[in-house]
A and B are shown apart, each in its own frame.
Chain A
Amino acid sequence: MAVIQAPPRVEPEPAPRRLVGWLTTTDHKKIGILYLVNSFSFFAIAGVFALLMRTELARPGIQVFAPHAYNQIFTLHGTLMIFLVIFPLLAGFGNYFVPLQIGALDMAFPRINALSFWLLPVGGLTILSGFLAKGGAAAAAWTGYPPLSEQLGTGQDLWIAGLILVGTASILGGVNFIVTIIRMRAPGMTMMRMPVFVWSILATSLLVILAAPVLTAGLIMLFADRRLGTAFFDPTQGGVPLLWQHVFWFFGHPEVYMLILGAWGVVSEVIPVFSGKPIFSYRGVVLSFLMITALSFTVWAHHMFATGAVELPFFSVTTELISIPTGVLFFIWLATLWKGKLRLEPPMLFALGFIAMFLIGGIDGVWAASPAMDFAIHDTYWVVAHLHYVLFGGTIFGVMSAMYYWFPKMTGRMLSRRLGIWQFWLQLVGFNLTFFPMHILGLRGMPRRIADYAPDRGWSFLNLVASTGAFVIGTAMIIFFVNIFLTLRKPRTAPDDPWGGSTLEWATSSPPPPHNFDSLPPIRSNRPVHDLREAERGENT
């Protein structure tokens, strides 16, 4: 049983030991920051890959890359963004804020927590080191379909090894989160008083521990086929190439929800705070999260409609069913805004941007969910547009909201509001300029993952627009990094609760002491800090 009592304040470590302190830390807050630093570093790398791709595609013809280089770049863009950027970003916020939000001292297993972080950069660098291997890095797309992925060189083995490391890290992390949330809550913090962000991490962790091992199994089969001469996916020996697709997407679709649930959690925290209202239906949010968690295991083969080898109506109906709890979330967000007192600070701007953009990613998925229509748009740029409206328009907007919202808590410094607003508008405009035209490119038959296209296909203008937009996004990201750099040089002036928050992380200092809390407010609802503020206001008047 974790009982929160205030241990004596620990003095900060002396400066020379600081670096060693960061490398050997088991403090969930430091590990959370390590996650963010690591993820944003890979974000910069994978973002540059994206710009390189858009440069190549800006005009028909081969200008920058030979196709083999292009194939490596887009493979690693996808792999890194999914496994080393988006998921670890959410895991990083989870690491920092789940223990704070439930009033715990730390994660349940601090040393395992450190291990699951350190496996990430090792895994990421293993994948990247493929560039040094003979034959280059992995080049079979982030989905790594065999037999193609069985043809390629050592880079593909490094890709497999790196993903197994990252997968193991996320399983250990998932177990840690669940045990922390179940076992470490402060007195009074019942499950139905937990902040919705904690619920989103709980749902994510359930998905991780049940889906990630399936990917690991698939990767072991792929490796065995490549290096031990087994026949899992080899049709000439009785193996089944489609088996990989089933295994991969059985993991891969829950994976999509691992990549978005945390962002839903963030937005469901930020919108009430900046609307001056409680979330419209706490139970509705929790119920939606759990329904989506369960349903996400039943939809995998909608990625395989075009194989002609899956049960179309079943997977179509389960896919469309997921839009019901997702729709409920939209209603709850809008109802929370309704008649609120909206403060358009950067966290709120990004949260509103999230709703506006993720909506498009939700709606354009409806076309793809209908098998007859999917035959036309599967594996075209329509899908590229759809997935970026979900993962960039959704998750990255949510992550930016979280950065502006929680940065003062993590560092004691407020990010610049002015730069934040600039970043928001550039990001919004650049994002739509890049990805909206891709819908039309997809409808006009442009397949994804091509290094080049002929000038007579009618795709040139929209590709140029998309490439221009990509550089606008790049500018927005430079502003973001500049904002962080400049802010970190300023003195710590942020108050404990700059936004008028409701959850427990705002009841401690900014940044929090190593033991998190000197004292906890009483927890009688899902908004203990809001309750405390109201009680104080009542006393004062």
Chain B
Amino acid sequence: MSAVTASQQRERREMSGPILGMVLFVASEAMFFAAFFGAYFTIRANADVWPPKGIPHLKIDVASILTVILVSSSVVLQMAIRAIRRGDPKRAMTWLGATVALGVTFLGLQLYDYSQLGFGVKDGTFGTLFYVMTGLHMAHVFGGVIFLSLVLWQGIAGLLSRTRYEPLEAGAIYWHFVDVVWICLFSVFYLLTPR
């Protein structure tokens, strides 16, 4: 146990190259989404009424389920990391598999939600912002599912261990980021849009 803590401390003091690379990449991605949030608030500030007239207003039920799915997937992924740090790659892969499954569920459910909304991407600025921003987020979730599936495949092939789990850690940083972006999107489109 003390050996684990020591190695963990070392990890923290000296972030390895790939992890640092992922942190920087996520910083870059954060600026990417920040630009869209900037666009959202610019357009909203320029509009006379928000949401614009003629937009059926968003129902919060499916979106709340989506939020629960994504947040719990982050928690489950953290369980996977805990398991691998404890030296239990098998259990870690189970948790990771669950994360991937939750990610896929999120994608499916969001596509269903799209079909129920009653407005499209061409329906003015609200449709524009909603579909482009959530769509780009979905693309990122999709990318995360692919990335984590590759890590899962590595783990099943026995390539991950207590001392070597960088891909899992890098994947987790990315996945948590995607989760945070969703929470921002959920807040902006569902909680902060006047009814």
A and B touch in the complex (CB under 8 A): yes
State the A residues within 8 Å of B (CB): 1, 108-109, 171, 174-176, 178-179, 182-184, 209-214, 216-218, 220-221, 224, 228-232, 237-240, 242-243, 246-247, 250
B121 in the interface (beta carbon within 8 A): yes
Check A231–B128 contact: CB distance below 8 A. yes
Check B43–A230 contact: CB distance below 8 A. no
Check A221–B132 contact: CB distance below 8 A. yes
**Chain A residues near B17 (CB-CB < 8 A):** 108-109, 179, 183-184
> 6 shortest A-B CB distances, which residue pairs?
A217-B35, A213-B32, A230-B128, A229-B122, A238-B125, A209-B28
Q: In the complex, what's the smallest C-beta–C-beta distance from A150 to chain B, in angstroms?
A: 13
Check B39–A228 contact: CB distance below 8 A. no
Complex CA distance for A218 and B32, rounded to whole angstroms: 9
Q: In the complex, what's the smallest C-beta–C-beta distance from A310 to chain B, in angstroms?
A: 12
Check A218–B35 contact: CB distance below 8 A. yes
B11 in the interface (beta carbon within 8 A): no
Interface string of B11-36 (1 = CB under 8 A from A): 00010111011001101110111111
B contact face: mostly helix, strand, loop, or mixed: helix
Q: In the complex, what's the smallest C-beta–C-beta distance from A3 to chain B, in angstroms?
A: 13
The residue of chain A having its C-beta at the shortest distance from the C-beta of B14 within the complex is: A1
The residue of chain A having its C-beta at the shortest distance from the C-beta of B43 within the complex is: A240
Check A230–B132 contact: CB distance below 8 A. yes
The residue of chain B having its C-beta at the shortest distance from the C-beta of A213 within the complex is: B32
Complex CA distance for A230 and B126, rounded to whole angstroms: 10
Check B124–A231 contact: CB distance below 8 A. yes
Check B21–A224 contact: CB distance below 8 A. no
Check A224–B132 contact: CB distance below 8 A. yes
Select B24's contact among A179, A221, A229, beta carbons within 8 Å.
A179
The residue of chain B having its C-beta at the shortest distance from the C-beta of A177 within the complex is: B24
**Given that A224-B132, A228-B122 are known contacts, is A182 also in contact with B35, CB under 8 Å in the complex?**
no
Interface string of B121-159 (1 = CB under 8 A from A): 110110110011000100000000000000000000000
**Given that A220-B136, A240-B46 are known contacts, is A247 also in contact with B125, CB under 8 Å in the complex?**
no
Check B31–A239 contact: CB distance below 8 A. no
Complex CA distance for A212 and B30, rounded to whole angstroms: 12
**Chain B residues near A238 (CB-CB < 8 A):** 43, 46-47, 52, 124-125
Check B28–A171 contact: CB distance below 8 A. yes
Complex CA distance for A446 and B35, rounded to whole angstroms: 34
Task: Report 8 cross-chain contacts, Cβ distance below 8 Å, ordered by A residue.
Answer: A108-B21, A214-B35, A221-B39, A232-B43, A232-B125, A240-B43, A243-B39, A250-B35
**Chain A residues near B29 (CB-CB < 8 A):** 213
Q: In the complex, what's the smallest C-beta–C-beta distance from A146 to chain B, in angstroms?
A: 13
B42 in the interface (beta carbon within 8 A): yes
| Given A178-B20, A218-B35, A240-B43; 11 other pairs, CB 8 A cutoff | A171-B25, A176-B21, A213-B28, A213-B35, A221-B132, A224-B132, A230-B128, A230-B131, A231-B124, A243-B42, A246-B38
Check A214–B32 contact: CB distance below 8 A. yes
Complex CA distance for A36 and B27, rounded to whole angstroms: 28
**Given that A175-B28, A220-B132, A224-B132 are known contacts, is A239 also in contact with B43, CB under 8 Å in the complex?**
yes
Check A247–B38 contact: CB distance below 8 A. yes
**Chain B residues near A183 (CB-CB < 8 A):** 16-17, 20
Complex CA distance for A390 and B110, rounded to whole angstroms: 49
**Chain B residues near A176 (CB-CB < 8 A):** 21
Q: In the complex, what's the smallest C-beta–C-beta distance from A257 to chain B, in angstroms?
A: 16
Check A175–B25 contact: CB distance below 8 A. yes
Complex CA distance for A247 and B32, rounded to whole angstroms: 11
Q: In the complex, what's the smallest C-beta–C-beta distance from B177 to chain A, in angstroms?
A: 13
Check B42–A212 contact: CB distance below 8 A. no
The residue of chain A having its C-beta at the shortest distance from the C-beta of B37 within the complex is: A217
Complex CA distance for A2 and B125, rounded to whole angstroms: 51
Complex CA distance for A220 and B139, rounded to whole angstroms: 13
